[in-house]
């Protein structure tokens, strides 16, 4: 197993040195429970057959059924999926949800597939992993390059296989197919709730704060729009094709509306687009966006974006990790030494899985909530966990990431301890 996973685990070493935990815990959390690698046949529209590699990793289920998204991306690998499943284990514990952690993915350039190819792939993926998922076992959800429509196809395929309608098997579904109101915006909304709490504690004024957002997909776009509505200045936004900048502030809602119309933001924004040609906003490179002098750099694209290669050039006062693992562990230490605050992924983006949990509760009870109720409960959960982590970081003089990991790991340690550890079993009951 290679770098990303080793990096993810390395971050736990500091946490274990700060708590009294049996060696059992270290041993349990060092290994995923189930790693499934599958080859998925995909019939292309032109008649060709392609076989794509897919994965589902269930990392740890001691606190409940495992939960985690499915990504369709060319970089998907066993290492990446395992690391993300590990992070989900910690994240569900940080958010206080009764879940363990999992992740899945298919190594594919989803943008190169037609709608029908995408549907066949989504259904093929579920056929390949159906034996190990279920509402009380492992519950997939959307992640990079997967969305509500794809979750709807996946759920439908699962119902066909098990011959019953069990909407609790997958979350992030379209609302008309048993999805929760508020799920689509939940990750961005949750990230904003955390930022707002931190800004309030730091005595800062949102109206004077400048934010750059890397990634304009589900998480990044909702975050940018909601932060804009809350009075923050969104000065730069990027997607995989490039970035735009405006010193006076961008209008993310306009960009989002354009993206909805044109499907790809790049068609509207970047160098090959009409808007770009009319120079509404200045075009900058993705790397330039990361190095802007802003109050908050919100990283909402993918992992390992701040690394040894660029960490010294980061000028933002704080980083908001909306994506999973956007800062590697080396850079995390450097940023800390440079006095740059990192609001960690396991807290910041836990709004998505929290509303997925609400969706699962609604599916299982058959009672559906209004959007205001979903947002109210999300706010309460995010603020409760954020306050706890902010206070623990202050009290114990540790980074917010260490405080968040401590918070989650203590819950996992509690569960492992209750099942009995070396200390318990080594005792002579007589």
Element (H, E) at 298: strand 296-299
Q: Which of the stretches 52-60, 117-125, 320-328, 362-370 binds ligand NAD when contact is defined by CB under 6 A? A: 320-328
Contact set for ligand NAD, span 215-234 (CB under 6 A): 215-220
Residue 60, strand partner residues? 101
Within 13 A of 280's CA, how many CA atoms are on the CB side? 18
| By CB under 6 A, residue 344 contacts ligand NAD | no
Q: Which of the stretches 45-53, 271-279, 321-329, 376-384 binds ligand NAD when contact is defined by CB under 6 A? A: 321-329
**CA-derived radius of gyration, the chain:** 21
| By CB under 6 A, residue 320 contacts ligand NAD | no
| By CB under 6 A, residue 144 contacts ligand NAD | yes
| By CB under 6 A, residue 349 contacts ligand NAD | yes
> CB neighbours (10 Å) of residue 362?
20
Is 103 annotated in the active site?
A: yes
Among 91, 103, 173, 259, the active-site one is 103
| By CB under 6 A, residue 145 contacts ligand NAD | yes
Q: Which of 4, 82, 83, 187 binds ligand NAD (CB under 6 A)?
A: 187
| By CB under 6 A, residue 143 contacts ligand NAD | yes
**Bridge pairing between strands 242-245 and 233-239:** antiparallel
Angstrom distance (rounded) from CA 304 to CA 394: 27
CB of 203 to ligand NAD, least distance (A): 29
Angstrom distance (rounded) from CA 194 to CA 343: 8
- Residue 290 structure tokens: 């990361």
| By CB under 6 A, residue 252 contacts ligand NAD | no
Which residue, among 147, 97, 156, has the nearest Cα to 347 in the 3D structure? Answer: 97
- Residue 329 structure tokens: 């562990």
CB of 172 to ligand NAD, least distance (A): 7
- Residue 172 structure tokens: 């992030």
Say how many residues make up the chain.
430
Q: Which of the stretches 29-37, 237-245, 333-341, 384-392 binds ligand NAD when contact is defined by CB under 6 A? A: 237-245
Q: Which is nearer to ligand NAD, 91 or 123 (CB)?
A: 91
Enzyme catalytic residues: 103
Q: Which spans of this chain sit near ligand NAD (rule: CB under 6 A)?
A: 142-145, 187, 214-220, 238-240, 286, 300-302, 322-324, 349, 352
């Amino acid at each position: 197993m290679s770098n990303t996973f080793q990096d993810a685990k390395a971050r736990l070493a500091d946490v274990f040195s700060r708590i009294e935990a049996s060696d059992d815990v270290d041993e349990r959390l060092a290994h995923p429970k189930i790693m499934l690698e599958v080859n998925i046949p995909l019939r292309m529209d032109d008649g060709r057959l392609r076989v794509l590699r897919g994965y589902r990793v269930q990392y740890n289920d001691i606190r409940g059924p495992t939960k985690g998204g499915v990504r369709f991306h060319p970089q998907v690998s066993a290492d990446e999926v395992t690391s993300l499943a590990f992070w989900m284990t910690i994240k569900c514990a940080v958010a206080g949800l009764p879940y363990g952690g999992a992740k899945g993915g298919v190594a594919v350039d989803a943008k190169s597939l037609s709608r029908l190819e995408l549907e066949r792939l989504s259904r093929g993926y579920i056929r390949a992993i159906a034996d190990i998922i279920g509402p009380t076992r492992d519950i997939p959800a959307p992640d990079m390059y997967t969305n509500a429509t794809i979750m709807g196809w996946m759920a439908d395929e699962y119902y066909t296989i098990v011959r019953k309608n069990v909407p609790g098997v997958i979350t992030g579904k379209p609302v008309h197919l048993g999805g929760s109101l508020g799920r689509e915006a939940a990750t961005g909304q949750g990230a904003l709730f955390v930022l707002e709490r931190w800004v309030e504690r730091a005595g800062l004024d949102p109206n004077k704060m400048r934010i750059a957002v890397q990634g304009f997909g589900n998480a990044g776009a909702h975050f940018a729009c909601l932060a804009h509505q809350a009075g923050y200045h969104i000065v730069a936004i990027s997607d995989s094709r490039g970035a735009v900048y405006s010193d006076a502030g961008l209008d993310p809602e306009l960009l989002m509306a354009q993206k909805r119309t044109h499907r790809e933001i790049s068609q509207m924004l970047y160098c090959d687009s009409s808007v770009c040609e009319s120079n509404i906003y200045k075009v900058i490179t993705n790397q330039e966006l990361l190095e802007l002098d802003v109050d908050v750099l919100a990283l909402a694209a993918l992992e390992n974006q701040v690394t040894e290669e660029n960490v010294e050039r980061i000028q933002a006062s704080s980083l908001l990790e909306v994506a999973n693992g956007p800062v590697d562990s080396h850079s995390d230490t450097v940023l800390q030494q440079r006095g740059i605050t990192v609001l960690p992924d396991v807290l910041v983006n836990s709004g998505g899985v929290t509303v997925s949990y609400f969706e699962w509760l609604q599916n299982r009870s058959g009672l559906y909530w209004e959007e205001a109720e979903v947002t109210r409960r999300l706010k309460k959960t995010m603020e409760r966990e954020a306050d706890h982590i902010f206070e623990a970081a202050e009290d114990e003089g540790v980074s917010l990431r260490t405080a968040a990991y401590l918070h989650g790991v203590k819950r996992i340690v509690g569960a492992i301890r209750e099942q009995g550890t070396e200390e318990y079993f080594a005792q002579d009951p007589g």
